[in-house]
Structure 1
């Protein structure tokens, strides 16, 4: 019996390990692929338990509901219901006297109960509720034994302690692993975000900007543009009002540019007082109009120095299109040259090519 319990536990932990790997690579695969592989994984783990039953005297039981309950509770209906249908159909094909109650009470009932609590899955501190849910699912599975078998109450009493303890311990172990994975994912996402984010303006830094825009150039339609934006006389602002005010102006300009971000427009900080903008899937005229709007917005915006003093600033902008058989780096260089021309022409203007 204990060997069978450990076998079921091993299947559950292996399922968790493979699911963790899937979640790690989730950003690299399509949503359809992720959900399809998840459904196959959960279905296979449940079906494997059909062939590794836990023997209690003359009765054969398993832990099939645990993967369904956990995936329903933490991931929602898409994975849980699909896996339930596949595993339920497999159990139907296997036949046997326990087929109908096994599907209804061992799979459908616990899954629906877990789905009812799915919206509360992120409330990490409510441990009593989670434990109660697990016990409730176990009772849905095993209480029918009382009514479906001869001497059902006696059988239930004989197996209740071992069944409940094995379910609770397995559930706690899996829950701990899931929480550890979530914490590791959170830390990984934070590190990834910080590695690609400018700490002052919260825009993409140069390295991350190039990574993101490279992907956009590959996936979006032709006609891509790069604009370089430079705040005019920024050194004078720092010398006159101090570097803290200079930083505040950089943040305010970043907010202005950030408001224009869409699927086809990406903003980053290039360095110092320079910002970089990607514009995709547009025409030359529309790209120019957008830059004119940004130029006007910066020019008309009042930047707060203190409670009594506001100032206005201007910016110079260079715009360049990504030509066929050219590279992103070459286009950035062209935009930078146009920015230099704008500054040489008296600043507060934009030059395009």
Structure 2
């Protein structure tokens, strides 16, 4: 809603503050609509188009109807329709053609409505087209830079919060998120510590690339079960940690058993002709009254140690 109001306000302001050059009025109000159509699609563009078109029509004057239809509605709908069915990224030549078509649509009333329109069109052709094209690419360049900056910011934020290999939350972010979760008193809170059995031997026998492949595949299984109240993280090396905020103890054990069984039943392909079975040992701990998260993790880690001591490939609670 805010972006609709913002863009509508900018375009409406351009109605009252036209750029004058050499006695000619450089009408650039269509440019924000076109760029909005390119970068934001119909969900944002159509509401803005409705607001500014209505405003322009209500302003009245001889050019109200053609200015609204040809100056805003048709070029914007053309751009939306074009990008609706486009799958590949536009190149510069394609952008110039789109801008040219939109400019011709917007100037069409000069030819058919204005007296001596062809002469006027020829007189102002170069100036209007150059201003339209130039302003569009200036705006477009700034928007591209801003989009790249936002994309880089999101990427850096993601890398700061996630493990680069598995794309699960990293240890610090997991602790931060779960510290807030365990304050919800209406839920039962569990921590599961999970260790891939004999992972060092797998690395030694098949190489570290195979080891990374296994870590990624195991993580993808964890991700299937993630939700607002099931959060997985790579704790370190081949060790993972899962938080569960659930209604009943049975539900927690059931989820962890499902994860363990799926890992057990999955064939881990580490080469074109080689697949190996993987198992995990799991220590599960329930939060008791007054128990801090760090203590809950220690408790789960102790249960994991017991699971390993008892032969691995099992869940201990």
Match of 2:280 among 315, 330, 334: 315
| Distance in 2 between residues matched to 1:140 and 1:325, nearest whole Å | 71
Which residue of 1 is the match for residue 125 of structure 2? 160
Q: Residues 140, 236 of structure 1: CA spacing in aligned structure 2 closer, same or farther, 3 A cutoff? A: closer
Q: Residues 239, 153 of structure 1: CA spacing in aligned structure 2 closer, same or farther, 3 A cutoff? A: closer
The Cα offsets for residues 228-261 of structure 1, whole Å up to 9 and x where unpaired, read as 1123444455566665554454344334434433
The Cα offsets for residues 161-216 of structure 1, whole Å up to 9 and x where unpaired, read as 11110010011112222222333333333333333332343433212333455676
- Whether 1:135 aligns to 2:100 is yes
Match of 1:285 among 247, 250, 254: 250
| Distance in 1 between residues matched to 2:79 and 2:270, nearest whole Å | 55
**SS of match in other structure, 1:269:** strand
| Distance in 2 between residues matched to 1:101 and 1:123, nearest whole Å | 33
| Distance in 1 between residues matched to 2:50 and 2:180, nearest whole Å | 37
| Distance in 1 between residues matched to 2:271 and 2:100, nearest whole Å | 60
| Distance in 2 between residues matched to 1:121 and 1:241, nearest whole Å | 45
Which residue of 2 is the match for residue 118 of structure 1? 83
Unaligned runs of 5+ in 1: 1-35
Q: Residues 64, 219 of structure 1: CA spacing in aligned structure 2 closer, same or farther, 3 A cutoff? A: farther
Which residue of 1 is the match for residue 36 of structure 2? 71
Unaligned runs of 5+ in 2: none
Q: Is the CA contact 1:266–1:278 (under 8 Å) kept in the aligned structure 2?
A: yes
- Whether 1:348 aligns to 2:313 is yes
- Whether 1:332 aligns to 2:302 is no
Equivalent residues in 2 for 1:1-353, closer than 5 Å: 36-55=1-20, 60=25, 62-119=27-84, 123-213=88-178, 222-238=187-203, 246-262=211-227, 264-301=229-266, 312-322=277-287, 328-352=293-317
| Distance in 2 between residues matched to 1:82 and 1:109, nearest whole Å | 15
Q: Is the CA contact 2:26–2:128 (under 8 Å) kept in the aligned structure 1?
A: no
User: CA shift at 1:300, angstroms?
Assistant: 4.5
| Distance in 2 between residues matched to 1:50 and 1:305, nearest whole Å | 63
**SS of match in other structure, 1:117:** helix
**SS of match in other structure, 1:150:** coil
Task: Give the paired residue count.
Answer: 317
| Distance in 1 between residues matched to 2:44 and 2:157, nearest whole Å | 28
| Distance in 2 between residues matched to 1:283 and 1:308, nearest whole Å | 43
- TM-score normalised by the chain length of structure 1: 0.76
**Greater displacement, 251-260 / 215-224:** 215-224
**Greater displacement, 41-50 / 56-65:** 56-65
**SS of match in other structure, 1:143:** helix
User: CA shift at 1:220, angstroms?
Assistant: 12
| Distance in 2 between residues matched to 1:308 and 1:148, nearest whole Å | 73
Name the Cα RMSD after superposition.
3.3
